[in-house]
Amino acid sequence: MTTPDPDSLLAEQLLRLTRRVHRIQKRHLEHRELGITPAQSRLLRTLAHWGSPPRMADLAERLEVVPRAVTTLVDGLEASGKVRRVPDPANRRVIRIELTDEGRSALRELRAARRSAAEEILAPLTEDQREALGDLLDTLIDGTPVQSC
């Protein structure tokens, strides 16, 4: 019998946590009956961070997906009234995507659902543990090693 590799165990734990986070967030979204998929939710959140309506190609790049995937997401969100396609004022051949009032309202609900999900996930941790976890996650996200004193 071989001894488990500690890095493999950590990687498995991270994957399991990621799946748990997605399941819990999905459940919280479904309870709010927004009719928004997790991918559409991500697009709305990304769209909200732009100062002016982006092009679909800009969204695809930011989301790290192919443009066709953004088209499908925008089609669904447009059909439900959460976004709209608008012509670029400088070049009418370019189409930009903007949030509607209904989209902004959905974003508020999405944020509340994410907060509820985070509270559920983090409930077993103390404040000190949450702070330590945040520091560790920042390190993993940035990919830079922590400097020891």
pLDDT (tens digit per residue) in 99-139 = 999 999 999 999 988 889 899 999 999 999 999 999 998 99
Distance set, CA 142 to CA 6, 108, 138 (Å): 21, 28, 6
pLDDT tens digits, 60-74: 999 999 999 999 999
- Residue 79's pLDDT band, with cuts at 50, 70 and 90, is very high
Please state, rounded to an integer, the average pLDDT across all residues of the chain.
Answer: 89
The CA distance from 115 to 26, in Å, is: 12
Residue 138's identity, in one-letter code, is D
Average pLDDT over residues 44-59: 93
More confident site: 22 or 103: 103
pLDDT at 145: 66
Q: Is the entire prediction scored with pTM above 0.85? A: no
CA atoms of 62 and 128, how far apart (whole Å): 33
| Residue 1 banded pLDDT, cuts 50, 70, 90 | low
